[in-house]
């Protein structure tokens, strides 16, 4: 995770890739808000999904136990920063990190809060 945080300092990305990353983050947030933990798990990167599942023997149960923050209702204020195949999406209630897998963005970390002079602290992340 620390390597990704350092990589975020690179150059920007075109609008369509930002829109795709925002869409993936919003879909994840919608699934959480609706307690659709199985749907939310399908939007996690494989390593992150395995880590969440290993904590509770099931990804959906593990994700429910994390009590992740989520953006309340409107996510119009969301901002995506895309760098290569990595993205950081800031929402009103959470910061998510995503990676691009083939043509789809997947959440690699969620429930992330900034820490001064340190990488973000994330409730959910890959191992």
Query: For 37-87, what is each residue's pLDDT tens digit?
Result: 999 999 999 999 999 998 778 999 999 999 998 766 556 678 899 999 999
Q: Would you state the pLDDT for residue 72?
A: 63
**pLDDT tops 60 at residue 94:** yes
Q: Where are the domains of the chain?
A: 11-116
Q: What is the pLDDT of residue 15?
A: 83
Could you tell me if residue 85 is left (phi over 0), alpha (psi between -120 and 50 degrees) or otherwise beta? alpha
Which band of pLDDT confidence, cut at 50, 70 and 90, is reported for residue 91? confident
Residue 1, pLDDT score = 45
Alpha-helix residue ranges (DSSP H) falling in 13-58: 15-33, 37-42, 46-56
pLDDT for 50: 95
Question: CATH fold of 11-116, please?
Answer: Nuclear Transport Factor 2; Chain: A, (3.10.450)
pLDDT of residue 2 exceeding 60, the answer is no
Rounded CA gap, 93 and 111, in Å?
9
From 122, 88, 101, select the one nearest 45 (Cα to Cα). 101
| Mean pLDDT, all residues of the chain | 85
Could you tell me the pTM of the whole model?
A: 0.83
Does residue 12 carry a pLDDT above 60? no
Check whether 112 has a pLDDT greater than 70.
yes
């Amino acid at each position: 995770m620390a390597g990704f945080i350092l990589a975020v300092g690179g150059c920007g990305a075109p609008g369509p890739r930002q829109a795709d990353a925002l869409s993936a983050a919003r879909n994840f947030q919608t699934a959480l808000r609706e307690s659709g933990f199985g749907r939310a798990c399908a939007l996690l990167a494989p390593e992150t999904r395995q880590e969440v599942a290993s904590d509770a023997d099931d990804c959906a149960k593990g994700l429910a136990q994390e009590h992740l923050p989520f953006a309340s209702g409107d996510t119009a204020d969301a901002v995506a920063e895309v760098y290569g195949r990595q993205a950081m999406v800031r929402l009103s209630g959470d910061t998510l990190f995503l990676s691009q897998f083939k043509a789809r963005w997947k959440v690699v970390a969620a429930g992330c809060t900034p820490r001064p002079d340190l990488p973000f602290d994330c409730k959910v992340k890959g191992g």
